[in-house]
């Protein structure tokens, strides 16, 4: 089965790719296995030098790669440039900090020496999605590579050109052969990859359904996993929130990457005293958004990445309306070339509706009314997901208390939208997955945490 890349803007075929046959996959895994000892022996300083060269190359070519993202998955050019620059940041971050994060930690015991050491595991299989085609990879790979692991990447088929460009960049920058490679394989062959003796561990960013499958397969093979899965992030708008900046932040949080983000705001839980004013201001701000080509400087929304994704999103909207939600804006497939979906706002949303219960991957906002702070918190936590959450209030202590003690999510923000940052751990709970990426916690996911005692 060949891979195809189709333009989200025109619906036309861009390229076809033949997947790697079993012999090619075996050869690439053998190269990874052979590269591992020398990569470890290179040491932190040698690996850091290459990682800094990677950061410089990314910054130099940011526009080129942004154009590739735009072509393959419809990302607006400024957002694509920002994504590449963020990848450079995480490369520099781990080049600067990896050795300190993984330094041996002495522990006082009855032994003459006792300490905890951190050693790489080997070859890590990364299964990555299309929506942030470079960042999702570097978010994991910068840490894993600096720890001394090697990587094989199974990327989403619709961003195959991006995956191959990334592999080429690692080669051009000077990373040794076998340290970072792409595997062009269909999803049906993932189980055999996970079971392969060369693969030491698996990381997946993707849907909860994919996470369940990978967790089961890796569990059967007794291999470590990190899973960053779906989200239905709640944003609590309390009665004392500062309306104008809150609306501005909430709209930005819903529409980043045209709404195609696991940590995009999805459910806006608004206390009744502010509900009418919030709805009016939010709808007006959403109405001002401009759908357009990724290269259009005036566009704030690009096309969705695939037609099936738009069809799924529209189905979620229609079914929610059938179950009693009320449409305030959008909700109809536009008569435009390309896989666009308009800024859409639903209100009177409740549990049992798809836009409340499910992850919505696109520019659809669900407004959920709440009468009290406690009801708002309960509605926020009434979800299978637990990736991110935010609280908006003029009382920062109140917001921090809710964020820290009462919201069930891996990342909670007060008066700001949820985002990932190399300095902070990133990941979820419940059906949003397990494990962490980024910061010291991320680099310690794929190492052997080894106890050493000397009598």
Domain at 317, CATH number: 3.40.309.10
Residue 444 lies in a domain: yes
Residue 1 CB neighbours (<10 A): 8
Output the pLDDT for position 148.
98
Residue 190 lies in a domain: yes
412 is catalytic: no
- Indicate whether 219 and 259 sit together in one domain: no
Residue 140 lies in a domain: yes
- Indicate whether 170 and 45 sit together in one domain: yes
| Averaged pLDDT, 335-353 | 97
Output the pLDDT for position 2.
84
In tens, the pLDDT along 387-444 reads 999 999 999 999 999 999 999 999 999 999 999 999 999 999 999 999 999 999 999 9
- Indicate whether 238 and 219 sit together in one domain: no
In tens, the pLDDT along 361-377 reads 999 999 999 999 999 99
Residue 427 lies in a domain: no
DSSP 8-state class, residue 121: -
- Indicate whether 252 and 393 sit together in one domain: yes
| Closest C-alpha to 302, from 313, 317, 289 | 289
Tell me how far CA of residue 115 lies from CA of 99, 353, 415, 449, in angstroms. Answer: 16, 52, 41, 10
Catalytically annotated residue among 33, 262, 359, 412: 262
Residue 240 lies in a domain: yes
Tell me how far CA of residue 26 lies from CA of 39, 152, 227, 416, in angstroms. Answer: 20, 12, 25, 46
- Indicate whether 389 and 368 sit together in one domain: yes
105 is catalytic: no
Instruction: Identify the three-state secondary structure at position 266.
Output: strand
Q: Tokens for 329, please give them.
A: 């804006």
Residue 252 CB neighbours (<10 A): 14
CA distance 444 to 378: 33
Output the pLDDT for position 179.
98
Residue-wise burial string across 126-165, b where 16 or more C-beta atoms lie within 10 A, e elsewhere: bbbbbbbbbbbbbbbbbbbbbbbbbbbbbbbbbbbbbbeb
Q: What percent of the chain has pLDDT over 90?
A: 99
Residue 67 CB neighbours (<10 A): 16
- Indicate whether 96 and 206 sit together in one domain: yes
- Indicate whether 340 and 390 sit together in one domain: yes
* Domain ranges, residue 402: 233-422
In tens, the pLDDT along 185-198 reads 999 999 999 999 99
Overall number of domains in the chain = 2
Catalytically annotated residue among 72, 228, 359, 445: 228
Contact 117, 27 (CB under 8 A): no
CA distance 400 to 413: 8
- Indicate whether 165 and 51 sit together in one domain: yes
Residue 7: exposure state from Cβ atoms within 10 A (0-12, 13-18, ≥19): middle
Residue 64 lies in a domain: yes
Q: Tell me, what CATH number does 26's domain have?
A: 3.40.605.10
- Indicate whether 187 and 319 sit together in one domain: no
- Indicate whether 174 and 130 sit together in one domain: yes
- Indicate whether 164 and 51 sit together in one domain: yes
- Indicate whether 252 and 115 sit together in one domain: no
Model confidence at 1, pLDDT cuts 50, 70, 90, reads confident
């Amino acid at each position: 089965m060949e891979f195809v890349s189709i333009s989200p803007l025109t619906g036309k075929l861009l390229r076809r790719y033949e997947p790697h046959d079993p012999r090619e996959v075996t050869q690439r895994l053998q190269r990874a296995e052979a590269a591992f000892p020398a990569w470890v022996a290179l040491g932190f300083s040698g690996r850091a030098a290459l990682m800094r060269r990677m950061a410089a190359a990314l910054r130099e070519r940011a526009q080129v790669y942004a154009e590739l993202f735009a072509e393959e998955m419809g990302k607006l050019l400024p957002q694509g440039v920002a994504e590449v620059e963020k990848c450079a940041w995480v490369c520099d971050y781990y080049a600067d900090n990896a050795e300190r994060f993984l330094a041996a930690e002495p522990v006082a015991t009855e032994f003459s020496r006792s300490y905890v050491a951190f050693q790489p595991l080997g070859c890590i299989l990364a299964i990555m999605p299309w929506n942030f085609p470079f960042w999702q990879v570097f978010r994991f790979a910068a840490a894993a590579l600096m720890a001394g692991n090697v990587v094989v990447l199974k990327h989403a088929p619709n961003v195959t050109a991006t995956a191959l460009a990334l592999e080429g960049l690692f080669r051009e920058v000077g990373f040794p052969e076998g340290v970072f490679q792409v595997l062009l394989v269909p999803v049906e062959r993932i189980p055999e990859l996970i079971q392969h003796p060369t693969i030491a561990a698996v990381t997946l960013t993707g849907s909860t359904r994919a996470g369940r499958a990978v967790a089961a397969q890796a569990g059967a093979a007794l291999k470590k996993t990190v899973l960053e899965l779906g989200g239905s992030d709640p944003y609590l708008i309390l009665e004392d929130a500062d309306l104008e900046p809150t609306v501005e932040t909430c709209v930005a949080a819903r529409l980043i990457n045209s709404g195609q983000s696991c940590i995009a705001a999805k459910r806006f839980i608004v206390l009744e005293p502010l509900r009418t004013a919030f709805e009016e201001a939010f709808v007006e701000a959403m109405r001002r958004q401009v759908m357009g080509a990724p290269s259009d400087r005036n566009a704030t929304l690009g096309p969705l990445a695939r037609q099936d994704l738009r069809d799924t999103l529209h189905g979620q909207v229609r079914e929610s309306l059938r179950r009693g939600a009320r449409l305030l804006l959008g909700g109809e497939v536009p008569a435009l070339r390309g896989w666009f979906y308009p800024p859409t706002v639903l209100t009177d949303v409740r549990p049992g509706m798809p836009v409340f219960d499910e992850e919505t991957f696109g520019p659809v906002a669900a407004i959920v009314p709440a009468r009290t702070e406690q009801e708002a918190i309960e509605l926020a936590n009434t979800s299978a997901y637990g990736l991110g959450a935010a609280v908006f209030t003029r009382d920062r202590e109140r917001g921090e208390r809710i964020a820290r003690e009462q919201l069930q999510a891996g990342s909670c923000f007060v008066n700001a939208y949820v985002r990932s940052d190399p300095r902070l751990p990133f990941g979820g709970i419940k059906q949003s997955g397990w494990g962490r990426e980024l910061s010291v916690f991320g680099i310690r996911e794929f190492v052997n945490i080894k106890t050493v005692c000397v009598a």
